[in-house]
A and B are shown apart, each in its own frame.
Chain A
Amino acid sequence: MEILQLVLYGTILGSILALGAVGVSLTFGILRFANFSHGDLMTIGAYVVFVVFTVMKLPLWLAIIVSLAVTAALTAIIDKLIYRNFRNSDPVILLISSFGMALILRSLIQLIWGPSTQVYEKGIQLAIKFGGGLRIKPDQIIILVGTVLLIIALHLFLRKTKMGKAMRAVADNAELARLTGINTEKVILCTWLMGGALAAAAGIFLGLDTRVFPEMGWNILLPVFAAAILGGIGNPYGAIAGGLVIGISQELSTQFIDPSYKPAVAFAIMVVILIVRPTGIFAGRSS
């Protein structure tokens, strides 16, 4: 039974990783670079909820909406100020720039909120017990339901709306998209907004599940990247599966190894994928 419980915890962690990895994959698909500031955008999202929900005592759902909007807007502003200038550069320059952006964001977080660890709500939540002794906390239900809703919304957006289809078109072939008359700048803006909102959601859920502290996003960046690579980087659907695989493996691994090595499990899976099938197990775009 313990195993089932770990699978459940792994699914919860996997949901968080999946949301993060989908954001990384979307930006990679359009802009062709691995965004190293994605983890710290997650942290920003988590802190905005801390401000609106914990400090201002407004309802959680409202705090989540505000956080998604603020983080998305911030991401778009960063693009306007910095990344946009590198459109015609080698994407590698964007990667380096995003690495710098990660530190800028983290130092701002530390300046504003200090280095200490916060929780959304003090006190211990009672776990709900159900069939076969499985336990789940109300917050974890929020995480699971929230993730499913966001992924359905994303799916509908990518499949049903003109902008979503244009995003997939640009990811397929950016040059052809331009020749077709697709406004790629608008597509890029939209990608950043979605990437930012998804990062915020991942950060909030991570904060709900554990705690809020300045390095939380950076610390989870490696498993997020691993999930994106596992799913075939650039393929948002693969990223969802990648997140779940990594999350469940990480939790199950605690049966055998020290829990502090959870990120190493993600890394090990990633290394195996890079050796065996670098395009990802879910047929992502070619490297």
Chain B
Amino acid sequence: MEGLINFGILFLTMAGIYGILSLGLNVQWGFTGMLNVGIAAFFAVGAYSSAIVTSVGDLPHWGGIGAPMIIGFAAAMIVSGIMAFFVGLITLNLRSDYLAIASIGIAEIIRLVLKNEEWMTGGVNGFTGISGKFNNIFDGGHALLYMIMVMVVLGIAYFLCERAYKSPWGRVQRAIRENEIAARAMGKNSLSFRLQSFVLGSAIMGLGGAVYTHFTGFISPEAFDPLLATFLIWVMLIAGGSGNNKGAILGAFIIWGVWSGTEFITSSILPADMATQGAYLRVLFIGILLQAILLTRPQGLLPENAPQPDKD
């Protein structure tokens, strides 16, 4: 029984974190049609930023400032947002393919930095000393408490995204998405709107990274590989329904369920020495699932339901 509860808490926490990331992507892709395939970069930068600000002790890498978690969250959003500002400035006026390529480039370079700059990030050994308050997360009620906090953060993020979507600002974003060429012809004004959306989405992804950091209490470059930190989130948003904030969250919960469910299945069917093959099978399955969704239900489970502009 206790195992089941722990599993449930773990599941909801991770699904909630992915829900935040999926909301961030929805702002960029769902609202404005910007193709960010380097989610991992903003996710990782958020995670490490928060870790650096909040970690305690004498560390072999950056950190040890010991700020409260809330400061870590803010730092994550700011640093990810600033990074997004520069990536966006360069690519957002070009065809969407260029943003896709540039964003994957950023993600790869961030991964190289995380791996190689031990003095800053701890390198492949990972970043230690994160967050005193929620250490030993499975002792006592901390895990439950953290899960509740994740849900609260997710709820706030959802509320803000929903407000943004329904606002005149959101309407402009949709107009940009529907007609990229006309939007580009609008010039500077359109660039500024796109930048705002890109920065907001990336800041939310950074927040997701921070929430992730304090949940695991340890981060290393491996956690931000393109599969787990970019691809899975795309599948979540497309499955749930691009452009729909509820869909983004629903997709995160369902796909995280599928992802952890397949782990359960492969580990119970396959013998222990085939565990690595099991992991590949799961990736294969998720890849095929994405193609199936794109082919049969590209609008997702909860299709976008854009509010009609007031008739006046």
Q: Do the two chains touch directly in the complex (Cβ atoms below 8 Å apart)? A: yes
B82-96 interface code vs A (CB 8 A; 1 in, 0 out): 000000001100111
Name which residue of chain A comes closest to B98, CB basis.
A274
B173 to chain A, nearest CB (A): 16
Q: Are B280 and A107 in contact (CB under 8 A)?
A: yes
Q: Are B112 and A260 in contact (CB under 8 A)?
A: yes
Residues of A within 8 A of B226 (CB): 218
Residues of B within 8 A of A93 (CB): 294, 298
A-contacting residues, B89-131, CB 8 Å: 90-91, 94-98, 100-102, 104-106, 108-109, 112, 115-116
A263 with B109: in contact, given A95-B35, A96-B238, A103-B227 (CB under 8 Å)?
A: yes
Q: When chains A and B are docked, how far (Å) is the Cα of A264 from the Cα of B90?
A: 16
Q: Are B290 and A97 in contact (CB under 8 A)?
A: yes
**B136 interface hit (Cβ, 8 Å):** no
A-contacting residues, B25-81, CB 8 Å: 33, 35, 37
Q: Are B283 and A107 in contact (CB under 8 A)?
A: yes
B-contacting residues, A240-287, CB 8 Å: 258, 260-261, 263-264, 266-267, 270-271, 274-275, 278, 287
**B216 interface hit (Cβ, 8 Å):** no
Residues of A within 8 A of B90 (CB): 271, 274-275
How many of chain B's residues touch chain A, expressed as a range?
35 or more
Residues of B within 8 A of A33 (CB): 97
Contact of B97 among A86, A89, A114, A233 (CB under 8 A): A233
Residues of A within 8 A of B305 (CB): none
Residues of A within 8 A of B106 (CB): 267
A99 with B37: in contact, given A115-B276, A274-B90 (CB under 8 Å)?
A: yes
Q: Are B105 and A222 in contact (CB under 8 A)?
A: yes
Of A104, A107, A258, A260, chain B has the most CB atoms within 10 Å of the CB of: A107
Name which residue of chain B comes closest to A111, CB basis.
B280
Q: When chains A and B are docked, how far (Å) is the Cα of A263 from the Cα of B234?
A: 24
Contact of B102 among A28, A110, A271 (CB under 8 A): A271
Q: Are B100 and A34 in contact (CB under 8 A)?
A: yes
Q: Are A36 and B287 in contact (CB under 8 A)?
A: no
Q: When chains A and B are docked, how far (Å) is the Cα of A91 from the Cα of B112?
A: 30
**B152 interface hit (Cβ, 8 Å):** no
Of B90, B286, B287, chain A has the most CB atoms within 10 Å of the CB of: B287
Contact of B280 among A28, A110, A229, A270 (CB under 8 A): A110
Contact of A108 among B91, B94, B112, B284 (CB under 8 A): B284
**B308 interface hit (Cβ, 8 Å):** no
Residues of B within 8 A of A125 (CB): none
Name which residue of chain A comes closest to B290, CB basis.
A100
Q: Are B287 and A107 in contact (CB under 8 A)?
A: yes
Q: Are A100 and B102 in contact (CB under 8 A)?
A: no
Of B281, B286, B291, chain A has the most CB atoms within 10 Å of the CB of: B291
Q: Are B101 and A225 in contact (CB under 8 A)?
A: yes
**A168 interface hit (Cβ, 8 Å):** no
Of B102, B280, B281, B283, chain A has the most CB atoms within 10 Å of the CB of: B280
**B288 interface hit (Cβ, 8 Å):** yes
Contact of A287 among B95, B109, B286 (CB under 8 A): B95
Q: Are A85 and B295 in contact (CB under 8 A)?
A: yes
Q: When chains A and B are docked, how far (Å) is the Cα of A33 from the Cα of B37?
A: 14
A-contacting residues, B201-241, CB 8 Å: 226-227, 231, 234-235, 238
Q: When chains A and B are docked, how far (Å) is the Cα of A106 from the Cα of B226?
A: 12
Q: Are A287 and B98 in contact (CB under 8 A)?
A: yes
A280 to chain B, nearest CB (A): 11
Q: When chains A and B are docked, how far (Å) is the Cα of A153 from the Cα of B138?
A: 63
Residues of B within 8 A of A101 (CB): 287, 291
B-contacting residues, A96-154, CB 8 Å: 96-97, 99-101, 103-104, 106-108, 110-111, 114-115
Of B94, B98, B101, B280, chain A has the most CB atoms within 10 Å of the CB of: B101
Residues of B within 8 A of A274 (CB): 90-91, 94, 98, 102
A263 with B108: in contact, given A82-B291, A96-B234 (CB under 8 Å)?
A: yes
Q: Are A34 and B290 in contact (CB under 8 A)?
A: no
Residues of A within 8 A of B287 (CB): 100-101, 103-104, 107
Residues of A in contact with B (beta carbons under 8 Å apart): 28, 33-34, 36, 82, 85-86, 89, 91-93, 95-97, 99-101, 103-104, 106-108, 110-111, 114-115, 218, 221-222, 225-226, 229, 233, 258, 260-261, 263-264, 266-267, 270-271, 274-275, 278, 287
Q: Can you list 18 A-B contacts (CB < 8 A)?
A: A36-B37, A92-B33, A96-B290, A100-B231, A100-B235, A100-B291, A103-B227, A218-B226, A222-B105, A229-B98, A258-B116, A260-B116, A261-B112, A264-B112, A267-B105, A267-B109, A271-B102, A274-B102
